[in-house]
Amino acid sequence: MPLTASPFFSLQDAANVSILRLQSADGTNRLTRECVLALHEAVNELANHSGPVVITGNVRFFSAGADLNEIAALDASAAYEFSRAGQRLMALIEQFPALFYAAVSGYCMGGGLDLALACHRRIAAPNAVFGHRGAALGLITGWGGTQRLPRLVGKARALEMFVSAEKIDAQGALGTGLIDVLTSDPVAEAVRLLRR
C-alpha cells in the first residue's frame, strides 16, 4: 500500500481486503482534528484501489469519539471547520466505491459511532457498547449521526438514544438493527464476508 505511516492508524492487507486499524497512545482512538484529516487522506487514497475496507480499533475501544478537551478550546470558526471535516470524512466513507465495513469491539461512542454509521455494515463483538453521550454534556453530533442513526433504528429509537445519552450493548444494538452481525471476532468475520 502506498499510504504513509500515521500515528492514528495502521494498515494491513488481508487477501485484498484492507484493514484500517485506529490507534492512539492512550488506546481510546479519539477522533482529533489531526486524526480526522489523516483518515480522510487515507480513505481517499484507498478509494483509488477500489478494494473493500474494514475499519476497526482495539479490544477495548473502536473509538471514544471526538476529543472534548480539544473541542472546548476551539473558537467558532475552528469548530465549524472541524465539523465540516468530520462530515467530509463520513461522506467519503459512505460513498466509498467498494464495501466499507466497521468491525467494532469495546466502546463506540459519539463521533466513533458516527464513523461506524457511515460504513456500509457494522459487525460487532459481544463487548461492544454504542452511544451518543453528547446530550449529557449539552452537545449534539455534527458528523451526520442524526441522519444516519434514524435510518437504521427508526426515528423514535434514535431520538431516545440522542436525548437520553443512553449506552446500548451489542445484543441491544443487534435487536434494533444498529449492527448487522454479532460475533466473537468481528474483524475476521468482516474479512470473510468481504471475500465472498
Residue ranges and CATH numbers for the domains of the chain are 9-130+168-195 (3.90.226.10)
Residues composing the chain: 196
pLDDT digits (tens, 9 = 90+) for 156-174: 998 888 888 889 999 999 9
pLDDT at 1 over 60: no
Nearest alpha carbon to residue 6 among 31, 46, 34? 34
Give pairs for 137-144: CB < 8 Å, separation 24+. 137/68, 139/68, 141/110, 141/111, 141/113, 141/114, 142/83, 142/86, 142/87, 143/83, 143/86, 143/87, 143/89, 143/90, 143/111, 143/114, 143/115, 144/86, 144/87, 144/90, 144/91, 144/114, 144/117, 144/118
Find where cell 460504513 sits: 119
Percentage of the chain lying above the pLDDT 90 cut: 73
pLDDT digits (tens, 9 = 90+) for 13-70: 988 899 999 999 999 999 999 999 999 999 999 999 879 999 999 999 999 999 888 8
Nearest alpha carbon to residue 88 among 144, 8, 30, 146? 144
Q: Is the full-model pTM beyond 0.75?
A: yes
